[in-house]
Structure 1
Amino acid sequence: MSLGQLGLLGALCGLLIVAGIWLAIRAFRPVPADRAAAPPRWTGLWARICEGLPGPWAAAYRWIVIAACIAAMVMWVVTARPVQGLLAAAVVAGVPWIWHPAGTSTRRIVRLEALSAWLQHLAGAHIVGHTLEAAISGAMRQVPAPIAEPVRVLEARLRMGVDKESAYRAFADELADGAVDNVVLVFLTHIRDRGTGMVETLQTLSDLTAEEAAALRTMDAERQKVRTQTRWVAIIVLAMAIGMGSNFGSVWATVGGQLWLLAMGAAFVGALVWLRRLSAVKPGPRLLHTTVEGVA
């Protein structure tokens, strides 16, 4: 191991020691009540990152990030060059996006199918003369898993006496989908006039939601061929880049070589991001735009 590599390893160890001391000091400092109640800033970013990944990848992505950090340290120690370490971390952390280079509507399809099934259960649990809230409570055991948590929160709010309109609007905000807004609008109309025909309306909404999910599933299947071709193109380009970057000769040791590697890596990442944005499947346009504050 050269002196430069030993120096870089020492610098990394020094940074880790400083980070450890800083975390230890923060652990003994009291946290103000207002900051303790607020979620960390990075929580929303992490949720958005995992939201864009298929289920198994999202569940394991924390470990993938840890592996990326380890890969960066190993590459820095082996090569003593910062860009190689940065690119190694980017490759490991980007494996899910390399394998799934284009967006998919699977999550929305599953959620719409779950919403359709839940509406059918509500129609079966709704008895003439009883409230919609009683039907929601009575159908809790039949709530499909993809929407189980938002429905559980909705039922808890209604049971604790939260204003019905606020609870339903908060439910729509949590799912943030035009199809859910359409359902909530029916709920809001029902609690205002308590009209008849709620069972038939719920069944019709269920059928319409199931049809939308089926149309999305057909569209998603048609896009699968394009995603497969794009995946292999991305893998081939990455393999070529690794072949070029694996040459640890004097060319890549210069400042210009490091900048060139960084530019190629940034171009590859930018292409993947651009492709995902082009193929992103957005939820249906919102029909309710009021965000309710203070709903417990």
Structure 2
Amino acid sequence: MRLPAQVELIAVLAGAACVAGVVLAVVAVVGTRRPAPTGSRHWLPRLWRGRSPNRRDQRRHQAMLIAAGLAGAGAFLLTGLPVVGLLVAAAVPGAPWLFTVGKAERQAIARIEAVGEWTRRIKDVSATGQGLQQAIIGTVASAPDEIAEEVRLLAARLQAGWLGRTALLAFADDIGDPVCDQAVAALILHLTDRGERLGDVLGSIASAAAAEVATRREVEAKRTQPRFAVRFLTAMTLLVLAYGLINPGYMAPYREPAGQFVMVVLGAAFVGLLAWVRAMSQPPAPARVLAAPDPEEVLA
């Protein structure tokens, strides 16, 4: 028995609202290193710009949103099913988000290794008799690529007259890892007491960074299997969805309001399960040692 037109409309709108929430949730987690300011109430411009302050990342985020809208509109026009359009729109940012799982951790491991190399270089430069700040500035040209931008910014802050402690805390905040916090803590202590064992301390920290890199790489290798399962399930789902787009008969059972509702439930459950598996395969955020610098204590 066919339902009244009003009931069909309500069912379709309810399904569209549910999947729209899934789309916004997926889009909200796609992005970059820094979260958006929590105090901002202008959520729509923030959604359009993304969570990265970098202009290049913002343009990439905006291109992805445009591609998601066009893909969703094309799927809706091809099938006549609004839920399919929303699912396709969610798949555009969602698929890279799932397929690139582990990328952030690999980058974090590479940055820890770079911090260890940079610490050794400070040790070598400071052993020549230069002051600590001059030694830091002298490592700009030879800084590893993974942290080259942060080291250049640290040197620029020191040359601009920032307090050494504040500049180093800002550098640690830019890196955002406890291994870097240990190196920065040693440098800050040297600024205050001018001890003679800085080289030994930096050498120990560099060795600890190498051990941390080895441990994290071993743990990262053990996470390969669940991440492969996430990629495999996502790829199979996208293939099934693509087959449904080119085969109208496959989508016939979902053209009724009940079918649209079932599609909403299945789609939301599948996206939620994938996000759950992805979250379980991600390492917890490491606890920081140092706090962010006080913005009022900048210039000497």
TM-score between both structures, scaled by the size of structure 1:
0.74
- On the 8 A contact 1:172/1:184 being kept in 2, the answer is yes
Q: Give CA deviations for 1:171-210 in whole Å, capped at 9, x if unaligned.
A: 1112221111111111111101011021222122111101
- Asked if the contact 1:117–1:206 (Cα under 8 Å) also holds between the matched residues in 2, the reply is yes
> Structure 1 residues 98 and 170 mapped into 2: Cα distance closer, same or farther (>3 Å)?
closer
Distance 1:116 1:59 in 2: 33
**Partner of residue 53, structure 1:** none
Counterpart AA for 2:229: Q
Which residue in the other structure is 1:286 paired with?
Answer: 288
Q: Unaligned regions of 5+ residues in structure 1, if any?
A: 1-34, 51-56
Q: Relative to structure 1, is the Cα distance of residues 269 and 231 closer, same or farther in structure 2, using a 3 angstrom cutoff? A: same
Q: CA deviation at 1:61?
A: 6.1
1:208/1:125 CA distance change after superposition, 3 Å = same
| 1:255 lines up with 2:257 in the alignment | yes
Other structure's SS at 1:288 match? coil
> In the aligned structure 2, how far is the partner of 1:191 from the partner of 1:185?
10
The answer as to whether partners of 2:169 and 2:291 remain within 8 angstroms in 1 is: no
- Structure 1 distance, partners of 2:48, 2:134, is 34
Structure 2 partner of 1:11: none
Partner of 2:169: 169
Contact 1:154 1:171 in 2 (8 A): yes
Q: Is the 8 A contact 1:98 1:235 kept in 2?
A: no
Counterpart in the other structure of 2:267: 265
**1:235 Cα deviation after fit:** 2.7
Relative to structure 1, is the Cα distance of residues 256 and 291 closer, same or farther in structure 2, using a 3 angstrom cutoff? Answer: farther
CA distance in 2, matches of 1:103, 1:133: 33
Aligned position for 1:189: 189
Which is further off, 176-185 or 122-131? 122-131
**How many residues matched?**
251
1:46 paired to 2:73: no
Q: What is the CA–CA distance in structure 2 between the aligned matches of 1:44 and 1:147, rounded to whole Å?
A: 25
Alignment of 1:2-151 (within 5 A): 41-42=46-47, 45-47=50-52, 63-100=63-100, 105-127=105-127, 129-151=129-151
Of the structure 1 ranges 238-247 and 140-149, higher mean CA displacement relative to structure 2 is found in: 238-247
**Aligned equivalent of 1:26:** none
Q: Root-mean-square deviation (CA), in Å? A: 3.1
After TM superposition, give the deviation of residue 79 of structure 1 in Å.
Answer: 2.4
Supply the AA of the counterpart residue of 2:291: H
Is contact 1:178-1:285 (8 Å) kept? yes
1:228 aligns to 2:228 (yes or no): yes
User: TM-score, structure 2 length as denominator?
Assistant: 0.73
AA partner of residue 262 (structure 2): W
User: Is the CA contact 2:73–2:85 (under 8 Å) kept in the aligned structure 1?
Assistant: yes
- 2:282 counterpart SS class: coil
Alpha-carbon spacing, 1:73–1:154, altered in 2? closer, same or farther (3 Å): same
Mapped to 2, the partners of 1:102 and 1:127 lie a distance apart of: 38
For structure 2, which runs of at least 5 residues remain unmatched after alignment?
Answer: 1-39
Deviation at 1:43, TM superposition (A): 8.3
- Change in Cα spacing, 1:123 to 1:101, as seen in structure 2 (3 Å) is closer
* Secondary structure of residue in 2 paired with 1:284: coil
Which whole-Å CA distance do the structure 2 matches of 1:90 and 1:210 have between them?
A: 40
Partner of 2:278 in structure 1? 276
- Output the CA distance in 2 between the equivalents of 1:279 and 1:99: 12
Please give the alpha-carbon distance, in whole angstroms, between the structure 2 residues aligned to 1:148 and 1:81: 49
Q: Secondary structure at the match of 2:111?
A: helix
Q: What is the alpha-carbon distance in structure 2 between the residues aligned to residue 213 and residue 85 of structure 1?
A: 43
Residue type of the alignment partner of 1:169: L
